[in-house]
């Protein structure tokens, strides 16, 4: 028997898919893992439910009636920050790239292993919790120590950790939370090459189940925003065959 208190404290996951058999499978497995679920079968309903009920994570199919999943992702992310895991029947790189560009935190291609999906859900929820805890800790520390340095400055790059703001040569750059976290992790260790696997573990929060292409796509998006010439980057540098680092020189 499910404990009522446990259910009250359980994370809520919004499942958005127009294929009812898939929704039923996801509901069965998520409830078995201790999650609460709400469901939507079209894009417009999904946006309304997300903004009204504020779920802890969203499983979002790309191919939806009334409004496609990419548009749903963009609308929700413009209103509040929630982990979004895209589900797609297409194994096309363009869908994955577009989803990540619009703010999705992760993606998985149908047909998927339930075990892998559950691992990714747990990882993204854990990462969201850690980010929230870090924000609380940072605010607490700021209240007790007004002199705390809350900025990272490396060459032309400046990160304000309080405002979640990035400047390059004094110009404010609009980054998603995930892009900011990647840049923050790299900038806190300038000139140190960080592997894709390490970034996947430390920023996304999982190891084995991750796809390192997710890291590459995110780095490419960051470069498009902070570099003058993406073909010859001066700030976020690739160490071929190893990973990425932030250059300390201008």
Give the residue-averaged pLDDT of 89-98. 65
Confidence of residue 3 (pLDDT cuts 50, 70, 90): very low
Residue 163 is predicted with a pLDDT of 84
Give the residue-averaged pLDDT of 149-165. 87
Question: Who wins on pLDDT, 176 or 9?
Answer: 176
d(CA 235, CA 13): 38
Residue 194 is predicted with a pLDDT of 93
Residues 6+ apart with CB under 8 A from 60: 16, 46, 69, 72, 73, 84, 85, 86, 87, 104
Confidence of residue 147 (pLDDT cuts 50, 70, 90): very low
Q: What percent of the chain has pLDDT over 70?
A: 82
Residue 4 is predicted with a pLDDT of 39
Q: Which is it for the CA torsion 217, 221, 227, 231, positive or negative?
A: positive
The per-residue pLDDT for range 24-43, each reduced to its tens digit, is 999 999 999 999 999 999 99
pLDDT surpasses 90 at 58: yes
The secondary element (H helix, E strand) that includes residue 78 is: helix 69-79
Taking only Cα atoms into account, the Rg of the chain, rounded to an integer number of angstroms, comes to 19
Question: Who wins on pLDDT, 195 or 148?
Answer: 195
The CA distances from residue 236 to 131, 173, 227, 231, in Å, are 23, 14, 8, 11
Taking a C-beta distance cutoff of 8 angstroms, is the pair 150, 143 a contact? no
The secondary element (H helix, E strand) that includes residue 239 is: strand 236-239
Confidence of residue 142 (pLDDT cuts 50, 70, 90): low
Which domains occur in the chain, in start order?
A: 4-129 (3.40.50.2300), 149-246 (1.10.10.10)
pLDDT surpasses 80 at 49: yes
Residue 140 is predicted with a pLDDT of 61
């Amino acid at each position: 028997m499910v404990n009522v208190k446990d259910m009250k404290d359980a994370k809520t996951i919004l499942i958005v898919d127009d294929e009812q058999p898939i929704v039923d499978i996801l509901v069965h497995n998520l409830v078995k893992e201790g999650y609460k679920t709400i469901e939507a079968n079209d894009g417009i309903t999904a946006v309304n439910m997300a903004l009204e009920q504020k779920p802890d994570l969203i499983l979002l199919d790309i191919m939806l009636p009334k409004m496609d999943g990419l548009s749903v992702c963009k609308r929700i992310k413009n209103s509040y920050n929630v982990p979004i895991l895209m589900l797609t029947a297409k194994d096309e790189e363009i869908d994955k790239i577009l989803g990540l560009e619009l703010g999705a935190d992760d993606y998985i291609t149908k047909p998927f292993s339930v075990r892998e999906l559950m691992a990714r859900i747990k990882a993204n929820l854990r990462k969201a919790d850690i980010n929230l805890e870090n924000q609380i800790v940072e605010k607490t520390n700021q209240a007790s120590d007004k002199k705390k340095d809350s900025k990272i400055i490396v060459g032309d790059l400046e990160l304000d950790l309080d405002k979640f703001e990035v400047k390059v040569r004094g110009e404010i750059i609009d980054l998603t939370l995930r892009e900011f976290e990647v840049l923050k992790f790299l900038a806190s260790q300038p000139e140190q090459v960080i592997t894709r696997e390490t970034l996947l573990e430390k920023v996304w929060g999982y190891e084995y189940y991750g796809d390192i292409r997710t890291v590459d796509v995110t780095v490419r998006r960051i470069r498009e925003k902070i570099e003058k010439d993406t073909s010859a980057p001066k700030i976020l540098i690739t160490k071929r065959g190893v990973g990425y680092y932030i250059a300390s020189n201008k």
